[in-house]
Each structure stands twice: as C-alpha cells, then as structure tokens.
Amino acid sequence: MKPLVDCKLYTFIDTAYLHGRAPEVVAQCLCDGGSDLIQLRAKKSSAAEVRAMAGKILPITKRANVGLVINDFPEIACDLGAEFCHLGQEDFFDAGHKNCADLKKRNANVQIGLSTHAPAQAQRAIDAGADYVAIGPIFATGTKPTAKPVTLDYIRWANANVKIPWFAIGGINLKNLDDVLAAGAKRICVVSAILNAPDVAKACAEFRERLGN
C-alpha cells in the first residue's frame, strides 16, 4: 500500500450502512473506486463477528494494495495482519492506555490511529505515539449524531500544528469538500456520502478524482 503520508481517501465498511450488502462486496467496490484506506467499523458486532468479517475483507484489500483499518479491536488487527487499528478517545485513554506502542506488542507492524475532537486531544494523541489522527467531526453527521461539530476551524488548526498524517472526518460530501480542502485538509474520511450512494465504486471514484492521485 501507499505510505500513510500519501494516503488521501479513507473510506469505511460501516455495518450500519451496509443496507443488506456483504462487507466483502462493499470492500471490493471501495477498492475499485480508489480508496487508499478502508476501515471496518461494526459497533454492534461481537469480536468474533468482526474477526470473521475482517478475515474475508483482508484478502481483497491486500490484493488491491489498500490498507485495512480495524476499528476498536487492536488484537484482531495484530492477529490477522491488518495494517491499522483505529480507536476513539474513550477506547484508548479512558481505557487506561498511555502509549500506542503498548498496542503493538503482538504485532509491531500495526499502525494506530486515534480520533480527536479538539486541539488538546490531538496533541495528547500525538504525544502517545499515534501514527495518524482523525480530526472531526467537521460537520454534523448521522454516523455520530450526538457529537458536536468542530467546524472548519479545527482543520485550520490541524493544518498549522499537526505534523503527523491527519484526516478530516464528519459529514464530508462532494458539496462541502471544496471548503474542507480550502481550510487545509489534504486527507479525508468519508462514510455515508459513499455508502449511501447507489453506486459505491462510482461515488468513491468521484471523491478520488477531486482529491487527485
């Protein structure tokens, strides 16, 4: 896969948005559409179910040279050889973790991403050794309806202050993408704007084209 710093389009297999489609089918569509990274997010699934899904998805992403991100389960990412694990603030710091290196003891090659919702959280994640951070939610999003939007101001702050790779996330679509890029984002996460589209691969490709190679 591309070096993380060169990854621009981060997409999702979110089980809340599968609409009856098999996760591995969506994975192939996202790869075909030009994703650089794909996160498996299954908030209502058990660890065993996530492991089974990831086992079907990983050969598809490996074949396409796309990085697979496992949400919430570092042990699954480590055991299966996924490239990344992503954790929220509550799943990392509130769970007692202090350094991302602690999560890599089973597999040193797994990279760790952390969600952040404010500058102080971003700095704390960087200090903890995160390989990348998510910056958001920029706009209101049905994916996390209770989360307060952090607005484009957080992107502007990240552009000036965050030196590791970071991805803008939250309510990003083709209509507001230009504003997100103008604020300084070079990498974006897209969930519903792609997964709710009638043609996932085509929707993904539209974002890919706007972001460039």
**Closest to 84 (Cα-Cα) out of 94, 74, 92:** 74
Give the total number of structural domains in the chain.
1
Mean pLDDT value of segment 170-192: 97
Q: What pLDDT score does 211 carry?
A: 95
The whole-model pTM stands at: 0.96
Q: How far is residue 144's CA from residue 43's CA, in Å, rounded to a whole number? A: 12
Q: What's the whole-number mean pLDDT along residues 60-76?
A: 97
The mean-pLDDT minimum among 1-5, 32-36, 65-69, 141-145 falls in: 141-145
Residue 147, pLDDT > 70, answer yes
- CATH number, domain at 28? 3.20.20.70
Residue 197, phi then psi, degrees to nearest 5: -75, 150
Q: Which residue bears the tokens 């996390």?
A: 144
* Residue 146 amino acid letter: T
pLDDT for 143: 67
Q: What helix, strand, coil percent values describe the chain, rounded to 5?
A: 45, 15, 40
Q: How far apart are CA 77 and CA 31, in angstroms?
A: 19
Mean pLDDT of 22-47: 97
Return mean pLDDT, the chain: 95
pLDDT at 136 over 90: yes
Residue 55: pLDDT band with limits 50, 70, 90:
very high
Residue 47 has a pLDDT of 97
86-110 pLDDT, tens per residue? 999 999 999 899 999 999 988 999 9
Question: Could you list the residue range(s) of the whole structural domain that residue 50 is in?
Answer: 4-211
Which band of pLDDT confidence, cut at 50, 70 and 90, is reported for residue 129?
very high
Least confidently predicted of 38-52, 138-152, 164-178: 138-152
In eight-state DSSP terms, residue 125 is H
What's the average model confidence in pLDDT over 61-65?
98
Q: What is the mean pLDDT of residues 178-192?
A: 97
What's the pLDDT at 141?
Answer: 73
Q: How far apart are CA 82 and CA 57, in angstroms?
A: 10
CA atoms within a 13 Å half-sphere pointing along the CA-CB vector of 192: 11
- Nearest 5°: CA angle at 148, between 193 and 13? 30
